[in-house]
Amino acid sequence: MEAPRTIIAATTNAHKIIEIDAITREFGWHVISRKDAGIPDFEVEEDGLTFEENSLLKAQSIFSYTGRPTIADDSGLAVDALDGAPGVFSARFAGEDATDADNNAKLLRLLENVETERRTARYVAVITLIMPDRAPIVCRGEIEGHIALKETGTNGFGYDPMFIPNGYEESFGVLPEELKNKLSHRYNALLKLKKELAKVDCGSGPQ
């Protein structure tokens, strides 16, 4: 069996690394952390106005250290009743040092008087892959759903306990991890990435 191809994850979010690695193993790739790649611990300034801009910024910043295949994720939640917020500010919706619980509490508070049919939302993920001597590949994935009236379940991370994907009655906080990984915005983006790699004749993934 062919050995998995190694990609460095630009994110420092352990939850995202686990999820991306779980998904990309299906494609014959293996994602490692920045620490495992020997990259210094530093924050990438995410000052882009879109998920695409921030994803590219993170990928370029980490790729510059090693010249090895690097994958970056910028993702978040867009709520229609809040004009697309929290959007690119999803991780710091309740402040720079906000926890998932802080962000979830703020979201529920803002939607307190919003009826169920107007609580439509989508998760968005933009994945950027940079490899030596190739143009960056940027792929966007989304999943539609709505925000529940309260948090349920402990699976996943971020807004998962409140996001119910279309066609289901339970939140990502309740649905099994294996199912979420086949439905998620991140999976959809990574699937597009796999197809784009095939177009540029990169075999089954980064070398």
| Lateral strand order in the sheet of 29-32 | 29-32, 5-9, 70-79, 120-130, 137-147, 163-165
Positions marked catalytic: 74
Indicate the helix (H) or strand (E) that contains 100.
helix 100-110
Cα of first residue to Cα of last residue in the chain, in angstroms, is 15
203: left (phi over 0), alpha (psi -120 to 50) or beta: left
Do 56 and 63 meet the contact criterion of CB atoms below 8 Å apart?
no
Cα–Cα distance for residue pair 207/189, rounded to 1 Å: 20
